[in-house]
Amino acid sequence: MSAPLPVLHLLVVAGGRGLRAAGGGEVPKQFRPTGRGMLLRVAIDTFCAADVAVRPSSLAITAPAAWHHRLAVELADLELPLALADAGDSRTASTWNGLLALEAKVAPAAADLVAIHDAARPFASAALLARLVAAAAARGGAVPGVPVPDTIVHSEQGRARYLARDELLAVQTPQVFRWEQLREAHAWAAASGALFTDDGALLAARGHDPAVVDGEIANWKITTEGDWRRAADLLAE
């Protein structure tokens, strides 16, 4: 009989201004309505569905303060402990704010897991989250990766060094980490001013290399207005 999985908490990072997907005017893309509700909510509903194998026990969101009341109303029916935090000046700072709010709300245990997800990735599946949770429970952290379709070069002073494409992966979210390691790494980053483009890179910088699991091609990120229109069409279906 397998051991039960650790308690899981979900942190959604929604602090971006969404300027490249500007068709919604002053409304950032993560808060724009879709056929399945506010964009931010689509992945949350997927992860929190009653019939999924791994369901978060609490939810934290980092977002501009002006949206906090709207989010509290929007998510009240989930009946999960909800922690809201202000967006920071960087993704690393936003995540740290979210972790502090989560700590104040539910005080995760050292061995609990936290899934960190970008609000602009609405199509991540519950099966992907379950794979990440299983890997993180064993390793301490896990990130999803998908093969890179293009040839990639490292450019320095105008010279290109070609990288082996079969050794490269594009990293996605959600990413899942053990609370104790995640909090320590972010406390260090906050104290030192270090910035990272994702949490896996921060954990790796602190000596906690995450496991890599198969990501999903369908789990793409909405960045431009064209991306938004494509996502809106899919969600309308």
Judge whether residue 3 has pLDDT over 80: no
Q: Where are the domains of the chain?
A: 8-142+171-236
Model confidence, pTM: 0.94
Please enumerate in sequence order all residues whose Cβ is within 8 A of that of 7, keeping only pairs 6 or more positions apart, or say none.
Answer: 57, 108, 109, 112, 113
Q: How far is CA 9 from the centre of its chain?
A: 12
Burial (CB < 10 A; 0-12, 13-18, 19+), residue 94, is buried
User: Token digits for 183?
Assistant: 């909090």
Per-residue pLDDT tens for 133-190?
999 999 999 999 999 999 999 998 889 999 999 999 999 999 999 999 999 999 999 9
- Residue with the larger pLDDT of the pair 25 and 9: 9
Tell me the Ramachandran region of residue 25: left when phi exceeds 0, alpha when psi lies from -120 to 50, beta otherwise: left
User: Token digits for 23?
Assistant: 């068709």
Residue 26: its pLDDT value, please?
A: 74
pLDDT tier, 17 (very low <50, low <70, confident <90, very high otherwise)? low
| CATH fold of 8-142+171-236 | Spore Coat Polysaccharide Biosynthesis Protein SpsA; Chain A (3.90.550)
Torsions phi, psi of 144, nearest 5? -95, 145
Judge whether residue 20 has pLDDT over 70: no
User: Token digits for 52?
Assistant: 């999924």
Rounded mean pLDDT of 51-73?
Answer: 95
Find tokens 């910088």 and name the residue: 205
Which of 15-19, 20-24, 191-195 bottoms out in mean pLDDT, i.e. has the lowest? 20-24
Task: Find out whether 29 and 21 touch, Cβ atoms under 8 Å.
Answer: yes
DSSP string, 60-124: EEEE-GGGHHHHHHHTGGG-S-EEEEE--SSHHHHHHHHHHHHHHHH---TT-EEEEEETT-TT-
Judge whether residue 46 has pLDDT over 70: yes
Q: What is the mean pLDDT of the chain?
A: 93
Per-residue pLDDT tens for 82-128?
999 999 999 999 999 999 999 999 999 999 999 999 999 999 999 99
Residue 1: its pLDDT value, please?
A: 53
How far apart CA 87 and CA 89 sit, in angstroms, is 7
